[in-house]
Amino acid sequence: MAIQRGGFSTRIGFILAAAGSAVGLGNIWKFPFEVGEGGGAAFVVMYLAFCFILCFPVMVAEISIGRKTKRNAVGAFTALGHKKWSIIGYLGLTSGVLILSFYNVVAAWAFGYFIEMVTGHFDIGQRFGEFTSDYLTVGLYSLLFMGTTAFVVSRGVSKGIERAARILMPTLFVLIVGLIIYALTLPNAMAGLKFYLVPEFSEITGNVVYSALGQAFFSLSLGMGALITYGSYLSRDSNIVKSAAQITLMDVGVAVLAGFMIFPFVFSQGIEPNGGPGLIFVTLPGVFESLGSWAGVIIGSFFFLLLSFAALTSTISLLEVPTAYVVDEHGIKRSKATWLVAIVIFLVGIPSLLSNGASEALGQFITLPGAGTLDFMSFVGLIANDTFLPLGGFMIAVFVAYVWRKENFDAELAEGADNLKGSWLQSYVNFAVSYVCPVLLGLIFIVTVLDNFLGIRIMTMLLG
């Protein structure tokens, strides 16, 4: 029995949903601390360059595969007549499930912090370890977050995913802009902007280059099948290249705006910007407390509400990938498939939920050569995010350029784009997918494996 897949009702709905897939905790939480540890503006310049040099062409390739086949991330390759290459889809499917299993836990932290800010508990930053190890409270927030995500996805593409994106994405931008306006009124805010906007290229090292390249790729949700899946719901009269450019700009825009928000806050309190992952969850609650009782509650609440919204736009797309696979390949109705998949992923995420002090055995369960002891969440992130995603992106580029072949790729791009044929943009996308993306993504994958699993510090040895 054929299952109705649905689709996006408008092109802007697709762009907002796909941008929501890319916009997430990586933009608002991870990007600022990567900038801080990477020396500031020099990192930003490299990140922006990599987004358009590397990520944009892979995004175009993924959306093209999805729209051509109207299938999920696994079935798309079979529909193109290359069933053996379905391994790419299975790799993306596995990555998405693993990432969502711990991403949902971090999203629960963000929502929990929103509750704490509303109630004026600014000391939550000092109690971060205690909070994350409270598996009953975090588990409840995590269950609520997964339930909200499943509810949206179960309602379908246009009535669920698209409708949510139309609400969440504009709200997210309004919250960011409002917080930026306030942050710029704080003392020493201009010092934060200088750090963020004036490059010191002497700060660039091999590790900074690698981090910027990785952040650009991972922040756009590439290699996990999300854009193949979303592309499968896209109408044939849509301009894929134009849509991909708008999605990239929107994602990059949120990340850049996050820096305009975070660094004035940080510098206004004389805090070092290289605070690492704790910059948001450990440091900022104290910053909000220093703003005064009423201002701190309002600004802190808005900030962590923003973080929760950003997380939700990504969890929706992460859940849609396995849901679409179950619907397409196993003929199960969307509502049933969604809740079944959500329950499985929530159960898979229990070790991540327990890994922050609730269980010593799970919290410190594996040691890798050269990498020290990793907690469960770090290990899952290393496998899925840092290893599987660049491998998936590499394989997609190789598949499009040398298996599906460029003439078929170009024919798909020409649908809905009358002026693309023979243009410099088409030539660049072809060149990038054929050479730039396979080389760079292949290098990212190799360096990640050597660096984290074999303890061979390639980037440090080569570039310092």
Question: Phi-psi region for residue 377, left (φ > 0), alpha (ψ -120 to 50) or beta?
Answer: alpha
> Collapsing DSSP states into helix, strand and coil, what is residue 367?
strand
Class at the top of the CATH hierarchy for domain 11-463: mainly alpha
> Collapsing DSSP states into helix, strand and coil, what is residue 100?
helix
* pLDDT score recorded for residue 150: 96
* pLDDT score recorded for residue 277: 60
Average pLDDT over residues 11-25: 84
Least confident of 18-32, 200-214, 355-369: 355-369
Yes or no: say if 318 and 195 are a contact pair by the CB < 8 Å rule.
Answer: no
Yes or no: say if 459 and 206 are a contact pair by the CB < 8 Å rule.
Answer: yes
Least confident of 231-245, 332-346, 389-403, 442-456: 442-456
Q: What does 159-209 look like in DSSP terms, one character per residue?
A: IIIIHHHHHHHHHHHHHHHHHHHHHTTSTTHHHHHHHHHS--GGG--HHHH
**Model's pTM, two decimal places?**
0.87
* pLDDT score recorded for residue 74: 96
d(CA 202, CA 211): 16
The overall average pLDDT reported for the chain is 84
pLDDT in tens, 261-314: 888 888 887 777 766 666 678 778 887 888 778 888 998 898 898 889 888 988
In this model, does residue 180 exceed pLDDT 80? Answer: yes
Both tokens of 104, joined, read 């949902």
pLDDT in tens, 384-430: 777 888 899 999 999 999 999 999 999 999 998 878 877 888 899 99
pLDDT in tens, 50-89: 888 888 999 999 999 999 999 999 999 999 999 999 999 9
List Cα–Cα distances, 254 to 28, 30, 237, 361, in angstroms. Answer: 8, 12, 28, 38
d(CA 346, CA 97): 10
* pLDDT score recorded for residue 362: 43
Helix (H) / strand (E) containing 395: helix 389-398
Angle of CA points 158, 164, 166, to nearest 5°: 85
Structural domain spans, the chain: 11-463
> Collapsing DSSP states into helix, strand and coil, what is residue 337?
helix
